[in-house]
Amino acid sequence: MGEKPRRLTRQQQAVSDILDARGDFRSAQEWHAALKDDGSPVGLATVYRTLQSLADAGRIDVLRTAAGESLYRACSAGHHHHLVCRECGRTVEISAGEVERWAVATATAYGFTAVDHTVEIVGCCAPCSVRTPEGAREDA
Amino acid sequence: MGEKPRRLTRQQQAVSDILDARGDFRSAQEWHAALKDDGSPVGLATVYRTLQSLADAGRIDVLRTAAGESLYRACSAGHHHHLVCRECGRTVEISAGEVERWAVATATAYGFTAVDHTVEIVGCCAPCSVRTPEGAREDA
DNA sequence: AGCGAACATGAGAATCATTCTCAATCAGCG
DNA sequence: CGCTGATTGAGAATGATTCTCATGTTCGCT
Ligand SMILES: [Zn+2]
Ligand SMILES: [Zn+2]
Ligand SMILES: [Zn+2]
Ligand SMILES: [Zn+2]
The C-alpha of A69 sits at a distance from chain B's nearest C-alpha, in angstroms, of 9
On average, the pLDDT of chain A sits at 88
Q: Is the Cβ–Cβ distance between B82 and B23 less than 8 Å? A: no
What percentage of chain A has pLDDT greater than the value 90? 61
With CA atoms as reference, the chain A residue closest to B101 would be: A99
Most B CBs within 10 Å: which of A102, A104, A112, A116, as the mutation test of the B interface?
A112
Measured to protein CB atoms, the chain C nucleotides within 7 Å are 7-12, 17-21, 26-28
pTM: 0.83
Residue B131's pLDDT is what?
75
Taking the CB of residue B93, how many other CB atoms lie within 10 A of it? 13
Please give the pLDDT value at position A131. Answer: 77
What is the structure's pLDDT at B138? 40
**pLDDT at residue A139 greater than cutoff 50:** no
Of A26-40, A125-139, B32-46, where does mean pLDDT reach its minimum?
A125-139
Measure the CA–CA gap between B52 and B33, rounded to whole angstroms. 17
Which of chain A's residues have a Cβ under 8 Å away from the Cβ of B124? 112-114
Decide if pLDDT at B107 tops 80.
yes
Contacts of B65 (CB under 8 A, 6+ apart): B71
CB B24 within 8 A of CB B91: yes
Of all residues in chain B, the one with the smallest CA distance to A140 is B1
Q: How far is the CA of A96 from the C1' of C25 (A)?
A: 47
DSSP per-residue string spanning A47-90: HHHHHHHHHHTTSEEEEE-TTS-EEEEE--SSS-EEEEETTT--
